[in-house]
Structure 1
Amino acid sequence: MSAPAIDPVRTPVSTTPGRKSAGKQRTTPARFDTALGWNDRPGPAWALRILLCLLALGVFAAPFLTIFSGSLSAKASGSTLSFLPHHPTLLSFQVAGERGIWDYFGNSLVIAGGGLLLQLAVCTLAAYALARHKFRGQALILTLFMLTMMLPEEVIAIPLSLVLGHVPVVGVDLKGTVWGVILPLGAWGFSVMLLTEFMKDIPTEIEEAARIDGVGELRMLWQVVLPLCKPALGVAGVLGFIMIWDQYLLPLIAAKDPTDYTVTVALSILRTDPEVGSGVVLAGAVIALVPSLIVYLLLQRSLVTGIAAGATKR
């Protein structure tokens, strides 16, 4: 995660009398205001900060390096820690492809893309109604959203399987379709709570001025409220994508055939397959890891901005 750049404090350098000052003035780097007193001079705090950075980098980077190294090694072992591949080869990726990992990967992309779009749309509309309008039962609805965040997936697995097999009122069987996975993910309590708190902080004067100009509800949401909630939408987008991409129990419940599985379920199948080794499993893990990394790297600025805005909000 890249930290926001800190501009150096520009201090003019005194010039001797009678000498014309140059057009450019030298700058001196500012002292970073941190708990460890980071500055440009080596010292105990400087060494401690470098040590902590290396320790954190090792803790978080070691698993990734091990996965990439094992997926490229000719003979990978799940019990050996190695940062460099031994006899690099792409055979593990080839075997994983023969086992259908790319088909499962395509299923995950469709579900993650459709589920995220539906989730952001539903959560945004729900948050707008809860944040900018007053009605009876509002506190009860917020409480229900919070309760959904406390229930583990295993508790609702059987009821959800029954509902997907025969949707009430409509009477449609959603098992074996992508909608059986996308629709249950259409609303997430965390995103609703996050967007609600951000929308509550929008000044009412902006909304009143827009209503004087004849702005309706949907236009108010699209042109006034949402542009002010971009940091929150970035956080909801990143965390929502990761939550949907990492789903394991729901795709397993909604599937009728192994071809309906996602890449997370496929990894468990590869792990129990006696004909493949650890290298194929690690190759599948690399394939499953790439989309999350891409989404995070593309939206990391929005994620940092959203978290910082929520931390400094009063």
Structure 2
Amino acid sequence: MSDSNTTNFTNPSTFILLGIPGLEAANIWISILFCTMYAIAVLGNFTILFIVKREPSLHGPMFYFLSMLAITDLVMSTSTLPKMLSIFWFNSREISFSACLTQMYFVLSFSGMESGILVAMAFDRYVAICHPLRYSTTLTNSVVAKIGLAVVLRSGILTLPYPFLVRQWPYCRTNIIPHFYCGHMAVVKLACADIHISSYYGLFDLFSLTGMDVFFIAVSYTQILRAIFRLPTKDARLKTFGTCISHLCAISPLYVPRFFCSLIQRFGHNVPLHFLLLINSLYHLVPPVLHPIIYGVRTKQISGRLLQLLT
């Protein structure tokens, strides 16, 4: 490593990403696994977008939200995985300061958008089950577009302080980031200044944005379950609840690792770094892989159209 990476400097022109320190011997196998998952994520989400676009019967609120989720998953995984694979395969570890901040912004903002879209999908299920006669008049194309715009603006605006706060800190120790991408806490921990503002804002964003989304999803499903239990027969209850299974399966891979990683990065000082990074990588990869599989298998309109295309 050159001396410029460890000597004093105020604003580094580049950062050095280490990948997953402690698992260098397994890099090739990790990269093959991640590359396979990334290929599945790209193929699956593009397939969802293609089918929804081509099939007029799928031009409805539920599938518009699903398309938004697919776009978000594509951007989320593409923001981190190609750089990670270039580290593993080509030892391309350098990333410019501006590119680092851009990557950080995209990862954080689209993560928030994904959470907001899951709230919108929960609202879609609530209206469909609790107020089915008003579904078409409540969730019009105009309302869906406004919800999508609100999700984008909310996440985009709340994420703006992150790169501005990171840019203002002096970096006088090192520019080596023990991570596979420019994570917020991984970067600010390199600053030789009091970074409590960045840490507190990250916690505020986590609990205000993600916590609020989890609260709204819980409220929606409380109302949905109350409506389901009022149905007269067991078959009707199971059939109605079955329409929510896909959404419930899509929620846990996003929220559980996100809360876990955010809290461990701030308070889990004795947790092995490679364990934290592996959990973090799953948070970026597993939802984009699982979402098209879950909705492709569980949604008859999509699975049926896909079978028609293949045969």
Per the normalisation by structure 2, the TM-score is 0.31
Greater helix content: 2
Per the normalisation by structure 1, the TM-score is 0.30
Flag the structure with more relative contact order, 1 or 2, with Cα contacts below 8 A and sequence separation at least 6. Answer: 2
For the pair shown, which has the larger CA radius of gyration, 1 or 2? 1
